[in-house]
Each structure stands twice: as C-alpha cells, then as structure tokens.
Amino acid sequence: MSRNSPSQSGVFHSTVDSRVEKFTESISFDHRLYAQDIRGSIAHAEMLADVGVLTSEEAAQITTALALIKGEIENGDFQFDEKLEDVHMNIESALVDRLGDVGRKLHTGRSRNDQVSTDARLWIRDSIDETDRLLKQLQIAFVGRCDADMDIILPAYTHMQRAQPVLAPHYWLAYTEKFQRDRERLADCRRRVNVCSLGTAALAGTTIPIDRENVAKRLGFEGVAANSIDVSSDRDFLVEYAFVLTMIAEHLSVWADEWVLWSSVEFKFIQVPQQFCTGSSIMPQKINPDVCELIRGKTARVIGNLQSLLVLIKGLPLAYNRDLQEDKERLFDSVDTVHRSLDLTASIVEGATLNTESINSRLEDGFLDATTLMEYLIGKGTPQRTAHHQIGSLVGKAMEKRCRLAELPIEDFTAVNDSLDKSVYDVLGVERAVAAFRSYGSTSPDMVKKQVVRWKEQLELS
C-alpha cells in the first residue's frame, strides 16, 4: 500500500507509489554507515546542548538511546525497514519511537544532505586507515622475503623479453615502492576527507546558532567545510578515494599477472601456496593460481566503479541531487574488493617459494650480461653507440654458434674491438653482471642490502 515517504512534508497531497519506495530506497546498502551516523548524531546532539538548543537532559536521553540502537544493530536485533528509505531515517525513526518529541529535536540545524556527507567522510576515514594497514601488511610480506632470497638472481624483462639480471629482493622492493606511493596517496586523500560537513544543512546553512567547530572537534575532523553549497554537492573526496583504490588494484593486478606467468611450466619461477590454488574439473594434474587470476580480474570492477563515479558527478547542477545516492554501492564494492585482495596477496607473498633450481638452469639464457659488457667497453673509452653496435654483433655471433657470450673465443672479441683481451671474461655471466652495478637504486648487491635495511626501519621491522 502506498503511503507518505518519511522525507515528505505536509505540502504533499498524494502518497508515494510503492514502486518508488523500492526504487529510491538505499537502506539495503547504506546500513553500513550506521556506526558513523550514530557517532555524528551524538556529536550533533551534544553540540546542540552546548549552545542551548537542547537541554543537557535531552541530549543525554538522545545519546543514551542512540548508543542502545547501535548495540542492537551490532547484535543483529535491529530491523531495518526499506520503507524508511535510508540508514539515517531508520535510526531517527527508532529514536523518535523511544523518545517522542525529544527524538524529533535531533535533526535541528542539519539536513540529510550534510548528514550523509559527514557519515561518508567518517566511513571513508576509517576505511582509509584500514587500507593503509593492509598495504603495510603487504609491504612487510615483501620485505620479509628479502633476506632469504638475497642470493637469488632473476631475469628482469622489458617487452616481455629477457633484459638484465637482478636480485630477487630488487623485485620485491619494486612492489614495496609501488605500494608506498599508494599509501602516500591515501594519506593525501585523507586530509581532504577529514573536513567536517555537518552543520551546512541542506545547502545554505542554518539560522540555528550551532557551533560547527564543536562538532568537528568531537568527531576528530581537522577543520570545517567553508561553503555550504559546495558541501551539499561535493563528492570529490569519495571519488578521490575510489581513484586511489583503483591504483592499488592496478598494482595488485600487475603483481598477480606476473606471478600467474611465473608459476607456469614455461617460466617455473615460483610456486604459489596450494591453499591459494584450485584444481580442474577434468584435468587431474592442474594446480591453477585462481586467486591471482581473480585478483587480476577483479581489478576490472574497481576500474568500472571509478568510471561510474566519474560519470555520476559529471554535469550535476549545484547543489544536492538524488543522483548522489548512487555513489555508495560503487565505493563499498571497491573497498571490499581491494581489501580482500590485499589480505590474500600478503598471504600468498609470504608463502610462495622461488624455484631456484629451475631459475638457475636457464639463468644464462637471453644474454643478460650484454649490457654490462657494453658498459665495460664504455669504461675503456669506446663511445656508447659504438659499443652498443659492437656488443650487438657479438650477440649475433653467439646466437649463430648457439652459445653464451662467455663461451665465445677471444678472437671474436678482439675482432670487434682491439682494446679487449682475456680480462673480458671477468665481466661476463649473470653473477658478475649483477655485481658490476653501481648506481643508486640499481640491483647492486650492496645497494639492495641498504634498501632492505631502509625498508625494515621504515616498516618498523628492526
């Protein structure tokens, strides 16, 4: 049966169509904001008492009742009603049922527009802190591998072709750096999230003598939003967080794709823990890295959520529009997806095993020492472009003879550059190539060890 919506005032002369109630409800997903909504309402009530709009007794009744409602929700004893539209009206209705007119006073000096913005900011702030914790957990997993893997050399790739040899910890720290940038983006995003919206009301502010700084302090915000119209329309903070989550998902996808390849028979670099793999319904020999594949695949939905949010806010006239109700499902999904992915990735990284025998058996394939040999020639005074061409011709000879550079006779070396002698063999081979690196940020063993120490200190592991 149709009835008046809880948001309708006496100006309406007709009831809301029942289909509209189902179409406009958001309680099915925004119930996740209950703790933040109650926290914001308690701060608002206490502020109203401080400025004399409520008595201290009324504020105490409200805060006590809200705390009880919160407990009921957490215990599963609270019945949400979609006819009440959203989490805000569900909680307020329960409050009015218990306190009558005292409960009706809570909404003084605020609107659902600034209320939902405040709830979202509080929820995102908490979520950012959890995202940062999970990123740090993953960084610790990568750095925690470094000491045990310090002597393992891996081929590094460009264009998916073997390029140069690197220490395994250099790979692990590459991901640690990526996730550090994500953490820095989160911290920067958090500053813009941590601004209090409450008290700007629907869009113009309020004539009630409220104290917005009072509320901001109670809720741990660093400041208050300066323009009420902007607050009512603003979802920048939410979209920015969705973007940071997308970057995290992109980085996870790169890692997952790499380890899917590395765990194949063709690479056989790494063994993903079997508890994070699945089998085949028809092929009994299969051990599939499905979790890695799904982490890679779920990146698509996180990207899609960001795209949806960007389109959602495109061209909306100031100030609030109901379109903005559509922001939360996209955000919640991105948060859930990224958080689960981060947690699983940390466990996979911790438990994976490098197949050193398989890696070492093919480590000299691909002329990984060619660039080091070129730079050896440069050190002897040969111009870079000339050295590049000469080493290329030596690689060509080795390919014709199906051998490694270190297996070419000295005559082949002296034929391309008469400054070379038998000492050239001292710089050939992947181990010597790795040992030859000098530049800051390179895979030089000494440099990598220093970086590991730096990260242990930064992550408080030592």
Q: What is the pLDDT of residues 430-443, one digit of tens each?
A: 999 999 999 999 99
374 and 434 fall within a common domain:
yes
pLDDT of residue 9: 62
197 and 99 fall within a common domain:
no
Find tokens 């499905």 and name the residue: 290
**How close are the terminal C-alpha atoms of the chain, in Å?**
66
Which of the residue ranges 2-11, 95-104, 168-177 would you say has the lowest mean pLDDT? 2-11
pLDDT of residue 13: 67
Residue 157 placed within a domain: no
Domain that holds residue 413: 370-458
Distance between CA atoms of residues 56 and 46, nearest Å: 8
The predicted model gives 84-97 an average pLDDT of 97
Return the structure tokens found at 434: 């790795």
Residue 178 placed within a domain: yes
Give 155-164's long-range contacts (Cβ < 8 A, gap of 24+).
155/363, 155/365, 155/366, 155/368, 156/443, 161/366, 162/365, 162/366, 162/367, 162/368, 163/366, 163/368, 163/371, 164/368, 164/371, 164/372, 164/433, 164/443
CATH number at residue 381: 1.10.40.30
pLDDT of residue 16: 81
Buried b or exposed e, range 260-278, using 16+ CB within 10 angstroms: bbbbeeebebbbbeeebbe
Nearest in space to 312 (alpha carbons), one of 243, 239, 245:
239
138 and 224 fall within a common domain:
yes
Active-site annotation holds for 159 = yes
pLDDT digits (tens, 9 = 90+) for 180-197: 999 999 999 999 999 999
Taking each helix axis from N to C end, the angle separating 168-193 and 112-146, rounded to the nearest 10 degrees, works out to: 160
Q: How many domains does the chain have?
A: 3
pLDDT of residue 3: 44
The predicted model gives 95-103 an average pLDDT of 98
Distance between CA atoms of residues 71 and 30, nearest Å: 18
Distance between CA atoms of residues 32 and 327, nearest Å: 13
Whether the per-residue pLDDT at 6 is higher than 90: the answer is no
pLDDT digits (tens, 9 = 90+) for 126-147: 999 999 999 999 999 999 999 9
62 and 144 fall within a common domain:
no
* Dihedral over Cα of 334, 43, 115, 16: its sign: positive
Amino acid at 370: A
Contacting residues for 237 by C-beta, under 8 A, at least 6 apart? 120, 121, 124, 189, 192, 193, 195
Active site residue: 9, 159, 439, 462, which one?
159
Distance between CA atoms of residues 72 and 78, nearest Å: 5
CATH number at residue 266: 1.20.200.10
243 and 280 fall within a common domain:
yes
pLDDT of residue 352: 97
pLDDT of residue 5: 56
417 and 291 fall within a common domain:
no
214 and 140 fall within a common domain:
yes
206 and 299 fall within a common domain:
yes
Distance between CA atoms of residues 362 and 336, nearest Å: 40
Nearest in space to 1 (alpha carbons), one of 14, 16, 23, 13:
16
Q: What is the mean pLDDT of the chain?
A: 95
85 and 47 fall within a common domain:
yes
pLDDT of residue 12: 66
Active site residue: 2, 18, 264, 280, which one?
280
CATH number at residue 33: 1.10.275.10
280 and 385 fall within a common domain:
no
pLDDT of residue 10: 65
The predicted model gives 84-111 an average pLDDT of 97
Active-site annotation holds for 44 = no
pLDDT of residue 2: 39
26 and 90 fall within a common domain:
yes
- The C-alpha angle 89, 95, 96, rounded to 5 degrees, equals 90
